[in-house]
Amino acid sequence: MSAPGLVLVATVAVLYSSGFYLLLQRSLMRVVFGIIVLGHAANLSLMLTDRAITLPPILTGKEGAISDPLPQAMALTAIVITFGVTTFLLALAYRVWLGDDNDEVPDDVEDRRIGRLSEPEDSS
């Protein structure tokens, strides 16, 4: 694999791991950032499927020396989708902030109910 290809592989690995790390945080803003980073990782890994990634996508005269346009087309579509959804997610996060004055991800409703059940009755 070519050097630019290797750099891309490393970038994708870093993006995925940091994306999932951010996704597991309690602050909603970090979760949103995690989604953004993960989106980039997925789009880049689409680009990675092209083995001739260093070559230009449009013919320059020499035959056969172009990169595969399909991953680029797919990545373009995916970028549009992730971009749109990210905007919506930011709006939602803002809304949560407005409603609660904090952006902490709440505990699972069910968890809390079960937690309450296990508490001794006379503790209150």
Partner 1 sequence: MNLLLAAPFIVPLLGAAATLLLRRTPRSQQTVSVLAVSAVIAAAAALLVVTADGTVLAGQAGGWSAPLGITLVADPLSALLLTVSAVVLLIVLLYAIGQDVGGLSRAIPQVFHPVYLVLTAGVCLSFLAGDLFNLFVGFEVMLTASYTLITQAPTRERVRAGMIYTVVSLTSSILFLTGIALVYGLTGTVNLADIAQKLGGAPAELRTVLALLFLVVFGIKSALVPMHFWLPDSYPVALTRISAIFAALLTKVAVYAIIRTQTLLFGRDDISTVLLVLAIATMLVGILGALVQDDINRVLSFALVSHIGFMIFGLGVGTVAGIAGAVIYLVHHIVVQATLFLVNGLIRQHVGHTSLSAIRGMNAVSPKLALFFFLPAMSLAGLPPMSGFIAKVALFEAGVAAGDWLALVGVAAGVVTSLLTLLAIFRVWTRAFWGEPMPDMVEARSQLRQGANRRGLRFMTATTGVMVGIGLLVAAVSGPLSEVAFTAARDLVERQPYIEAVLGTGTQ
Stretch that binds partner 1, among 3-11, 40-48, 59-67 (CB under 8 A): 40-48
- 15 is a contact residue toward partner 1 (CB under 8 A): no
- 23 is a contact residue toward partner 1 (CB under 8 A): yes
- 102 is a contact residue toward partner 1 (CB under 8 A): no
Instruction: With beta carbons less than 8 A apart as the criterion, state whether 90 and 65 touch.
Output: no
x/- mask, partner 1, residues 58-97, rule CB under 8 A, reads ------------xx--x--xx--xx-xx--xx--xx-xx-
**H-helix segments, the chain:** 3-23, 28-48, 69-100, 109-118
Instruction: With beta carbons less than 8 A apart as the criterion, state whether 97 and 103 touch.
Output: yes
Q: How far is CA 102 from the centre of its chain?
A: 23
Report the distance separating Cα 95 and Cα 89, nearest Å: 10
Binding region for partner 1 (CB under 8 A): 23, 28, 31, 35, 38-39, 41-43, 45-46, 48-49, 70-71, 74, 77-78, 81-82, 84-85, 88-89, 92-93, 95-96, 99-100, 105-106, 108-110
